[in-house]
Copies of this chain bind each other. A is one copy, B any other.
Amino acid sequence: VLHTHRREQLGDVIAATEETTTGVIRLRAMERDGVLGFPVIAVNEARTKHLFDNRYGTGQSTIDGILRATNILLAGRVFVVAGYGWCGQGLALRARGMGARVVVCEVDPLRALEAVMEGFEVLPMERAAAIGDVFCTATGDRDVIGREHFALMKDGTLLANAGHFNVEIDIAGLRAVASGTTPAREGVEGFVLPGGRRLYLLAEGRLVNLAAAEGHPATVMDMSFSNQALSVEYAVQYPGSLERKVHGVPREIDDEIARLKLESLEIEIDRLTDAQAHYLASWDQGT
């Protein structure tokens, strides 16, 4: 979801902004390989973006998509979340909030440890495959759920993706191992595996919150788009200041969006007194 911004008079790109985690990963790879053609502001890295849009937006809308596609009861089901980045964290939180027993799969030790400390069961996908009722990927990588996992799954298992593309679940592999199909609800494909077990793929493995529901609510996209708008304004105001690299959103923009959002919610907060601000900045006061 790259947005490029041209200066009309010059006809060339001043800068671009990037909305997604996966996009930023790839742009950094381009920067590393020396092929980034213009500066990019990584909107995804604004705290007012990924802490809210990725976490609460993806979390809720993915649950929404799964419910609209299947109308299953989440309470009591084993819900496997692959990937415990911001999107995965939001999804795990919401799945638990709907009464599911949540299992997390991760490749990063630190994130795995965070999931453990939040009380989630953390398992390799191979072991999760055998116990899950619903699987949802949010990793930014490919083949997170593959043939070796389909082989272990229970009859009736649901497969969904809330990550970047339709490659997180190995759909070609699923089609290859299936001996046939079985009817299912709209937006759901039923595959029959040798032996008779049925696996159900939601929304063709595409983003289930977009394909089966309406995507993120406006009341969280407001912050993301504010980051876009103010980052573009910044790039246009200071065109010379940006090197051909991936840049963060300026801190002042990030803070201002948080302030405006609170205001729109009519929530007041405390302000530091001068004495408090001075104390925080000092190193010679206190015991």
Contact = CB atoms under 8 A, between A and B. Distances in A.
Given A71-B214, A109-B259, A272 B141 contact: yes
Interface residues of A, number: 94
Interface string A267-287: 111111101100111110011
B57 A141 contact: no
A275 B121 CA distance: 26
Contacts of A272: 107, 141
A112 interface: yes
B119 A275 contact: no
Given A76-B117, A219-B73, A33 B283 contact: yes
A281 B33 CA distance: 10
A29 interface: yes
A68 to B, nearest CB: 7
Nearest to A140: B280
B270 A106 contact: yes
Contacts of A74: 60
A262 to B, nearest CB: 5
A262 B99 contact: no
Contacts of A122: 267, 269
A37 interface: no
A230 interface: no
Contacts of A220: 73, 75
Contacts of A13: none
A125 interface: yes
Interface stretch (A44-52, A174-182, A191-199, A233-241): A44-52
Interface string A104-139: 011111101110111111111101000000000000
Given A97-B98, A109-B258, 9 more contacts: A51-B114, A56-B76, A60-B67, A60-B98, A99-B118, A107-B276, A109-B255, A109-B262, A116-B262
